[in-house]
Amino acid sequence: MHWISKIPINHHPKQAQIKYLASQFQLHPLLTQHLFNQGFSDFNKLDAFIYPKLSNMYDPFLMNEMKHAVTRILKAIQRNEHIHIFGDYDCDGITSSSILYLALKELGAVVTTQLPLRSEGYGLSVNVVQHLPENISLIITVDNGSSTHDALRAAKEKGIDVIVTDHHEVLNERPDCLVFLNPKRKDNAYPFSDLCGAGVALKLVQAIFITLNRDWIRATEPFIDIVMLGTIADMMPLNDENRIFCYHGLRKLQQSPRKAFKILLDALRVKSIDSSTIGFTVGPIFNACGRIGDPNLAASILQNNEPTLKHDMLPIR
Ligand SMILES: [Mn+2]
């Protein structure tokens, strides 16, 4: 066991605190010492690690430009503007667009989603912008948009506002869009930069609910299984805020799965669910939709409260 510290507990300079934490959490002193050495060195930090809590999610307004994003979206809802969510064809794109769609729909928005086919290429393109229905006045990208400068210019020329929400590295300057949400932007102020696209979408939803004075934990919790799927399928590190999403998302999937997941898990005859089930079974099914078919179909299953799974969508056994 290579991770065990070479310092025996009785010689550790903080042995009193480690023993105290071990007794408080009823952990083996050796494990507590290891966690202590990994930075879980006081009661609150260890408590947050062992019992991940939705209330420990970060303030979404720490993300640069979040307030501006919320203001524009609420204005669009109030004015009955047509909001168009544009995602990506992989599982993260499917999940991020579905989270935002479901939340905005619940708030009474006029909203549609679109994921490109793989043959159409990644990200918002000039071609997509040019073929949008006339009445769209706000595009929200999810899981893409940080480097799509030509498409943003085309949208600007058509008078369409664009809120870019993304988590990919920002290759050039800030894209020329109305709002730019990305925990990887160079001047990022958000404390955790390893969110996936679905994670960024969830932070936006959380910020909208906070602004509307809703109980944001109760309002955000219904999407926790979807953000978990996006986070694991996009191979994000399962620490920090991602750990909160995945802990609660996996529990929800285990205890009270939404209908779409229930049908899928029943078809797969999956009994117990952990991150490997998502990473090696459920995630690849959603990713495959974008690889060999139409990812919009997979998204519609998550976005529909009464989904049906067609027989030809089941994996071959
Ligand atoms: Mn992604």
Closest CA to 175 of 131, 227, 139: 139
H/E segment holding residue 89 = none
- Predicted TM-score (pTM) of the model is 0.92
Q: What is the DSSP letter of 282?
A: I
**CATH code of domain 60-313:** 3.90.1640.30
Instruction: State in Å: Cα 91 to ligand 1 middle.
Output: 8
Under 8 Å between Cβ of 167 and 192: no
Q: Ligand 1 (ion): which residues have CB within 5 A?
A: 92, 143, 196-197, 234
Instruction: State in Å: Cα 29 to ligand 1 middle.
Output: 39
Under 8 Å between Cβ of 163 and 72: yes
How far apart are the C-alpha atoms of 306 and 42, rounded to whole Å?
Answer: 46
Under 8 Å between Cβ of 300 and 115: no
Q: Please write the tens of the pLDDT for every residue from 34-79.
A: 999 999 999 999 999 999 999 999 999 999 999 999 999 999 999 9
Instruction: State in Å: Cα 212 to ligand 1 middle.
Output: 28
Closest CA to 142 of 217, 227, 72: 227
Q: Supply the pLDDT for residue 51.
A: 94
Q: Supply the pLDDT for residue 310.
A: 57
Provide block-wise average pLDDT over 10 residues at a time, the chain (317 residues).
Answer: 65 87 93 93 94 97 98 98 97 98 97 95 95 95 96 97 97 95 97 98 98 97 98 97 98 95 93 93 94 92 75 47
Closest CA to 9 of 39, 50, 44, 37: 37
H/E segment holding residue 94 = helix 91-106
Every domain of the chain and the residues it spans: 15-51, 60-313
Instruction: State in Å: Cα 196 to ligand 1 middle.
Output: 5
Scan for tokens 């940080």, then name that residue. Answer: 146
Q: Please write the tens of the pLDDT for every residue from 76-106.
A: 999 999 999 999 999 999 999 999 999 999 9
Cβ burial of 17 (10 Å; 0-12, 13-18, 19+) is middle
Instruction: State in Å: Cα 88 to ligand 1 middle.
Output: 8
- ∠ CA 242-246-251, nearest 5°, is 155
How far apart are the C-alpha atoms of 8 and 220, rounded to whole Å?
Answer: 44
Instruction: State in Å: Cα 215 to ligand 1 middle.
Output: 28
Scan for tokens 């934490």, then name that residue. Answer: 21
